[in-house]
A = this chain, B = another copy of it.
Amino acid sequence: MSPHSLNAVPNAGAAGKTPADTPSGPPDGRPRRTTVVSQSDIEETILHPGTVRINVQGAFIVDEGPATPQSEEEGTHDPRDIRLPNHTAVVSHVAVDIGGSLAKLVYFSREGNSLSIGGRLNFVKFETDKIDKCIEFMRKLQRDHQQLNGSRPDELCIMATGGGAFKYYDKVREALGVEVIREDEMECLIIGLDFFITEIPNEVFTYSEDQPMEFAPFLSQPSSIYPYLLVNIGSGVSMVKVSGPRQYERIGGTSLGGGTLWGLLSLLTGARNFDDMLQLASNGDNATVDLLVGDIYGTAYNKIGLKSNHIASSFGKVYKMKRAAESEAEDGCNGDGKHHDPDELVQGSSEMPHGPAKFRPEDISRSLLYAVSNNIGQLAHLHAEKHQLPRIYFGGSFIGGHSQTMNTLSYAIRFWSKGTRQAYFLRHEGYLGAVGAFLKRQPRNWGRRNSFEER
């Protein structure tokens, strides 16, 4: 049975919300962090998370994007560039992490003003099925690199990771005529995550309903971050135990990940992209499709601590309601002698293929988002507990900065761990692997603490 997580999006329907689910203080009794974003800035900060400029000496996040990133033919530019003000050397490589659904690309660009030193890391993503667009983009980077530095085209090399680094190896190498260096996916993920945790201030944050984006304190001792659990949520989910720099082990995972949510919602709702699905979920009420403890007991099951609004069965009302509606349709009004209240059947805008019972796509989206997120949260907790990992970092493109997803994951971790563990998120969550691959080959003296060796 999963916790019934709460709606964290202002102005959305807050069905099932009870005072008991809304703790007035931090549930684990920990002191507040010092860096806090005020409530009014939350949505803006999630959409444009790079507005806070905090350290001109080292690397930092800089926002240039005008709006929420959207999928386009030319790739989606993440508005959260990372400025590297003190960097001067020529960077002659790009890095790409080609996953099951998305290809994530990281590249360095010098500042436009030729008098400035330094430059920035840029983040772009493509659908893996449109890998040609990604290759075309890299060709453009290749041309720019040649123009700026006068080098031969083959001097820009490609660092590649993710499954597609193997599947598309020949294709990329032949298309660009350059060296393609393949790096292990798990290693890149944790190198990238270590970099974000230890080098980029205001990158890592926690999420709760009353403090939706609370930056984690910047750790002065990089070694103190270990051990930790990385839960990387892409199409599928990988759970990686990290014991120290480059010391990692994949300890688990689940096939119920982003691909499951996107796949099922594309079948069940009219939504055609992730943003639409998440928007639907924000406006939904899962209680119309999920079977809650209260639906079974008529009350809470106090003996084992299950509240009446806990989800006993995700989609547990659907089969029953469809059956009831079908019987009624077959039997006519006087059929089975049982009459349903008008509000027993939810009318919605979605056209389901079979049977007369209708369910709102909003409610279906919310239920499935809860189901997938709660399940990942529970598995993450069990793995963190088993391996005694105090911190859990969530990465991967599934989260997408979406507050409801982060709230559900955070709630699940707090619920299952009884408040002893917390979920940490990253503003560049989707780019851990790509940044890790990028850092596998880098100029000297890169990074705040020179913690990365040159390849």
Instruction: Give the interface centre of A167, A270, A304 by most chain B CB atoms within 10 Å.
Output: A304
B371 touches A263 (CB 8 A): no
CA distance A351 to B268 in the complex (A): 12
User: Is A262 at the interface (CB under 8 A from chain B)?
Assistant: yes
In the complex, A359 has a CB within 8 A of chain B = yes
Contact check, A235 vs B269: say whether CB atoms are below 8 A apart.
Answer: no
Q: Does A264 contact B (CB under 8 A)?
A: yes
B263 near A312: Cβ-Cβ < 8 Å: no
Closest chain-B Cβ to A354's Cβ sits at a distance in Å of: 5
Report yes or no: A313 in contact with B354, Cβ–Cβ below 8 A: no
User: Is A2 close to B, CB under 8 A?
Assistant: yes
Is the Cβ of A100 less than 8 Å from the Cβ of B259? no
A424 to chain B, nearest CB (A): 22
Q: If A100-B313, A259-B315, A313-B260 touch, does A163 touch B354 (CB 8 Å cutoff)?
A: no
Residues A264 and B385 in contact, CB atoms below 8 Å apart: no
In the complex, per-residue mask of A279-306: 1 if CB is within 8 Å of any chain B CB, else 0: 0000000000111010111110101100
- Give complex CA distance A259, B291 in Å: 8
Interface residue A316 (Cβ < 8 Å from any Cβ of B): yes
Tell yes or no: A258 within 8 A of B by CB: yes
Interface string of A136-160 (1 = CB under 8 A from B): 0000000000000000000000000
Give the segment of A33-41, A212-220, A374-382 that binds chain B.
Answer: A374-382
Q: How far is the CA of A270 from the CA of B371 in the complex (A)?
A: 23
Contact-residue size bin, chain A (C-beta under 8 Å from the other chain): 35 or more
Task: Tell me if A317 is interfacial: C-beta within 8 Å of chain B.
Answer: yes
Contact indicator A163/B266 (Cβ below 8 Å): no
Q: A365-414: which residues lie under 8 A (CB-CB) from chain B?
A: 371, 374-375, 378-379, 382-383, 385-386
Most buried by B among A164, A257, A322, A353: A353
- Asked if A318 meets B263 with Cβ closer than 8 Å, knowing A257-B313, A298-B166, A313-B257, the reply is yes
CB of A267 closer than 8 Å to a CB of B: yes
Kindly provide the distance from the CB of A167 to the nearest chain B CB, expressed in whole angstroms: 4
Tell me if A259 and B353 are in contact (CB < 8 A): no
List residues of chain B with CB within 8 A of the CB of A371.
Answer: 255-256, 260
In the complex, what residues of B have CB within 8 A of residue A316's CB? 100-101, 235-236, 255, 257, 259-260, 263
**What are the residues of chain B within 8 A of A263 when measuring CB–CB?**
289, 313-319
Cα distance A301–B166 in the bound complex, in angstroms: 10
A99 on the interface (CB 8 Å rule)? yes
Asked if A177 is an interface residue, CB under 8 A from chain B, the answer is no
Q: Are B296 and A167 in contact (CB under 8 A)?
A: yes
> In the assembly, what is the distance between CA of A90 and CA of B291, in Å?
39
Contact residues in B for A378 (Cβ distance below 8 Å): 252, 254, 379
Q: Is the CB of A129 closer than 8 A to any CB of chain B?
A: yes
Chain B residue numbers with a CB within 8 Å of A256 are: 256, 314, 371, 375
Q: Which residues of chain B are within 8 angstroms of A234 by Cβ–Cβ distance?
A: 313
Contact: B385 with A235, CB < 8 Å?
no
A135 and B383 alpha carbons, distance in the complex (Å): 45
The 9 closest A-B pairs by CB, nearest first: A259-B316, A163-B296, A263-B315, A263-B318, A259-B313, A235-B313, A167-B298, A236-B313, A163-B297
Can you sample 8 A-B contacts with CB below 8 Å?
Answer: A1-B253, A164-B296, A236-B313, A254-B375, A254-B378, A263-B315, A268-B353, A351-B353
